[in-house]
Chains A and B, each alone.
Chain A
Amino acid sequence: MAEVLVLVDHVDGEIKKNTYEMLTAARRLGEPSAVVVGTPGTAAKLAEGLAAHGAEKVYVAESDDAVNYLSTPQVDALAALVERVSPPAVLIAAGADGREVAGRLAVRTNSGWLNDLVEIDGQREGTHSIFGGAFTVQSRATTDTAVISWRAGSIEIEEQAGAGTQENIDLPAIDEATSGKVSNRAPIVGGDRPELTEANVVVAGGRGVGSAENFNVVETLADSLHAAVGASRAAVDSGYYPNQFQVGQTGKTVSPQLYIALGISGAIQHRAGMQTSKTIVAVNKDPEAPIFEIADFGVVGDLFSISPQLSEEVAKRSS
Chain B
Amino acid sequence: MNIVVLIKQVPDTWSERTLSDADKTLDRASSDAVLDEINERAVEEALKIKESGDAEVTVLTVGPDRATDAIRKALSMGADKAVHVNDEALHGSDAVTTAKVLAKAIGTVGDVDLVLAGNEATDGRSGAMAAMLGEVLGWPSLTHANALTVENGTASVKRETDEGTCDVTSALPAVVSVGEKINEPRYPSFKGIMAAKKKPVSAIGIADLGLDASEVGLAGSLSQVDSFAPRPPKSGGQKVEDEGDGGAKIAEFLVGQKLI
Contact = CB atoms under 8 A, between A and B. Distances in A.
Interface string B232-257: 00111111111011111111011101
Interface stretch (A20-28, A52-60, A296-304): A296-304
Interface residues on B, range: 35 or more
Interface residues on A, range: 35 or more
B157 to A, nearest CB: 8
Given A100-B128, A104-B132, A301-B241, A133 B231 contact: yes
A112 B247 contact: no
Contact of A250 (B95, B180, B247): B180
A182 B168 CA distance: 5
Given A184-B167, A301-B241, A136 B228 contact: yes
Contacts, number: 267
B161 A134 contact: no
A179 B224 contact: no
A96 B215 CA distance: 28
A241 B44 CA distance: 27
A284 to B, nearest CB: 10
Nearest to A185: B166
A111 B250 CA distance: 48
Contacts of B166: 182-186
B191 interface: no
A166 interface: no
Contacts of A187: 163-164
A137 B231 CA distance: 10
B90 to A, nearest CB: 17
A229 B168 CA distance: 29
Interface of A: 11, 70-71, 75, 95-97, 99-100, 102-104, 106-108, 110-116, 125, 129-131, 133-143, 146, 176-188, 196, 201, 225, 243-244, 249-250, 252, 257-258, 260, 268-269, 272, 275-276, 279-281, 283, 287, 292-302, 305-314, 317-318
Given A306-B242, A314-B260, 17 more contacts: A103-B95, A103-B126, A107-B136, A137-B228, A138-B225, A139-B226, A180-B142, A185-B164, A187-B164, A269-B14, A281-B250, A297-B239, A298-B239, A299-B241, A300-B239, A309-B246, A310-B246
